[in-house]
Chains A and B, each alone.
Chain A
Amino acid sequence: MTYLDANATEPLRPEARAAVIAALDVAGNPASVHASGRAARRVLEQAREDIAARFGARPAQIVFTSGGTEADALAVHALGHGRRLIIGATEHDAIRAAAPEAAILPVDARGVADLAALETLLAAGPALLCLMLANNETGVIQPVAEAAALCRAHGAWLHVDAVQAGGRMAVDFAALGVTSLAISSHKLGGPAGAGALLLDDAVGIRPLITGGGQERGWRGGTPPVAVIAGFAAAATAPTVELAGLRDQIEAAAVACGAMVLGGGPRLSNTTCLALPGARAETQVIALDLAGVRVSAGAACSSGKVARSHVLAAMGAGALAGEAIRVSLPWNATPGDARAFADAYQAMAGRLARRAA
Chain B
Amino acid sequence: MQRPNRPIYLDNQATTPCDPRVVQAMLPWFTERFGNPHSAEHAMGREAEAAVEAARAEVAALIGAEARELVLTSGATESNNIAIKGAARHALAVGNPRRRIVTVATEHKCVLESAADLAAEGFEPVILPVSPDGLLDPAVLEAALSVPTLLVSVMAVNNETGVIQNLAALSAVAHADGALFHSDAAQALGKIPVDVARDGIDLLSISGHKLYGPKGVGALYVRRRPRVRLAALFSGGGQERGLRSGTLPTPLIVGLGEACRIAGADLAADMARIANLRDRLLTTLRGALPDLIVNGSLSHRIAGNLNVTFPRSSAAALMRAAPELCVSTGSACSSAEIEPSYVLAALGLDAAAAARTLRFGIGRFTSAADIDMAAALLIDAHATTEPIEA
Chain A interface (Cβ within 8 Å of chain B)? 1, 3, 5, 8-12, 17, 20-21, 24, 27-29, 31-37, 40, 66-70, 72-74, 77, 92-94, 97-98, 184, 186, 191-194, 208-214, 220-227, 281, 284-285, 288, 293-296, 298-303, 305
Contacts and interface: CB of A to CB of B under 8 A. Distances in A.
Contacts of A285: 41
Interface string B107-124: 011111110010000000
Given A210-B117, A212-B333, A293 B44 contact: yes
A contacts with B: majority SS: loop
Contacts of B325: 34
B214 A9 contact: no
Given A213-B109, A222-B209, A293-B43, 11 more contacts: A17-B31, A27-B17, A34-B325, A34-B327, A66-B216, A70-B246, A73-B233, A211-B81, A227-B214, A281-B41, A294-B42
Interface in B1-19: 7, 9, 11, 14-18
Contacts of A70: 74, 234, 246
B314 interface: no
A235 to B, nearest CB: 17
A116 B215 CA distance: 46
Interface size class of B (residues with CB under 8 A): 35 or more
Residue among A29, A68, A295 facing the most chain B CB atoms (10 A cut-off):
A29
B297 interface: no
Contacts of A209: 77-78, 81, 110, 233
Contacts of B250: 192
Contact of B238 (A9, A21, A191, A300): A300
Given A12-B30, A222-B209, A73 B248 contact: no
A10 B234 CA distance: 24
Nearest to A193: B249
Given A28-B326, A70-B246, A211-B80, A300 B234 contact: no
A192 B247 contact: yes
B370 to A, nearest CB: 13
Contacts of B23: 21, 24
A2 to B, nearest CB: 11
A8 B38 contact: yes
Interface in B78-123: 78, 80-81, 108-114, 117
Contacts of A11: 34
A211 B333 CA distance: 9
Interface in B208-250: 209, 214-217, 233-239, 242, 245-250
A32 B326 contact: yes
A218 to B, nearest CB: 13
Given A34-B328, A94-B237, A226-B215, A69 B247 contact: yes
Contacts of A35: 7, 323-324, 326
A69 B246 contact: yes
B237 A301 contact: yes
B335 interface: yes
